[in-house]
Structure 1
Amino acid sequence: MSSKLHGLVWEACAFKGLIISEIAVMARLADFSNDEGVSWPAVTTIQRQIGAKSENTVRSAIKKLQAKGWLKKQERRVGGKNNSNVYKLNVDMLERAAAEAKIFYATPREQSKSDASEFEGSKFEGSNSDASNNGSVPPQI
């Protein structure tokens, strides 16, 4: 498991506009990966662990991630049987995107036009009841 890659995924992927299913798949692949971004979990494993409704959700996310350049997939067959694919996360892309995100979020933003200091405090003055009532009478408004 690469905690380095896991952190990069969370820092970079949403910032770059990936949707939640893509981010979840990237995070699981990062969890399975070594520091070079290589892993080979089964699609069914990813599906089960991210709570996807179907394997197609995972396959679709992987296909989109490939098209966007976030990962490469190598299909494997051993002795005429399918094995789990090998995935290689684009570590350079993750590092660049995470660095961009950190700079973006560290840069002070223009203050909102509805600054909180413009709002007055509550007009409620507390209970109008006599203090000797010990709270037995509801406050009069």
Structure 2
Amino acid sequence: MDTWLIVLIVVAALVVLALAALAFSKRARVARVRREAQHREQARENLQEAEERSARADREQALALEQAARAREELADVQQRAARAEQEARRRAARAEEDRAAAEHLRAEAQRLAPDVADGRYDDHPDGGATRR
């Protein structure tokens, strides 16, 4: 074979290899650009979902704080009502004890004044007199 024919075949093979390398490089670049675009789209979706979840978390946090505040208010109201009820119960118990002491004093006074009446052995007659039982 002639030298020029060998050189021509080698040059043609190099051109084919260069074109194949160029095509492969372009294809790889297109795939990389497509992959980067997909990553950017996924990143945008992730950011949007993150914002939605953050907003939802903020709303839930606010609701939880409101609920806790209402619970504290209700607890304070209940404790206040319980304290008032206990105070009223103590006042009633004190009045009852005063009444009991007064009753005991009156019984003692009745016993001192008329022991037979205090014992229940004395009855008044309808005509004004008294008899023993």
TM-score when normalising by structure 2:
0.18
Q: By percentage of residues, which structure has more strand?
A: 1
Structure possessing the higher radius of gyration over alpha carbons: 2
Q: By percentage of residues, which structure has more helix?
A: 2
Q: Which has the higher contact order (CA 8 A, sep 6+)?
A: 1
